[in-house]
Amino acid sequence: MKSTVRLLVIVAGLFIAYQMFGLMQAKYAAKDWPSVPGTIAAVSLNESKQIENKEIDGLRKQHEISTFRLKVRYSYRVNGIEYLGERFAIADKSTESRQEAESWLAKFAAGNSVTVFYNPQAPADSVLLK
């Protein structure tokens, strides 16, 4: 039984390391992506709530945590071809701060001009934040 648990922990650790390595590779590759002007077509804020149990002053209390993610759609042109993008950032970008989420909404409001970073080998692959 203990060897099974150890094996599961090792496999989980390797999986997490693999995921982190992939993310680091993507961020490294994107650091040199060129940019073009773009326009925000649509934006919304997704809020997910999670209940967390915490012990405060010896008492177990439930605490609600909200996580915000920006869902965005934007257009941009590369070599005269128009593209539509939906990727906000290379890595999953979320926040537990309503204030930060609302600042994203203001900055990336529909109709706003933005800088779009795109993959020169595959221009349909793009982000707003690297």
What's the pLDDT score for residue 58? 76
Q: What is the pLDDT of residue 18?
A: 39
Closest to 119 measured CA to CA, from 90, 98, 80, 95: 90
Task: Determine the pLDDT at residue 120.
Answer: 95
Residues 6+ apart with CB under 8 A from 105: 43, 45, 70
Q: What pLDDT is recorded for position 62?
A: 81
The conformational region for residue 114 under phi > 0 = left, psi -120 to 50 = alpha, else beta, is beta
Residue indicated by tokens 């290379």: 90
Return all residues near 92 (Cβ < 8 A) that are at least 6 apart.
69
Task: Return the pLDDT at 64.
Answer: 84
**Average pLDDT by consecutive 10-residue portion of the chain (130 residues)?**
58 43 50 94 92 78 87 97 94 86 92 96 93
DSSP structure class, residue 129 = B
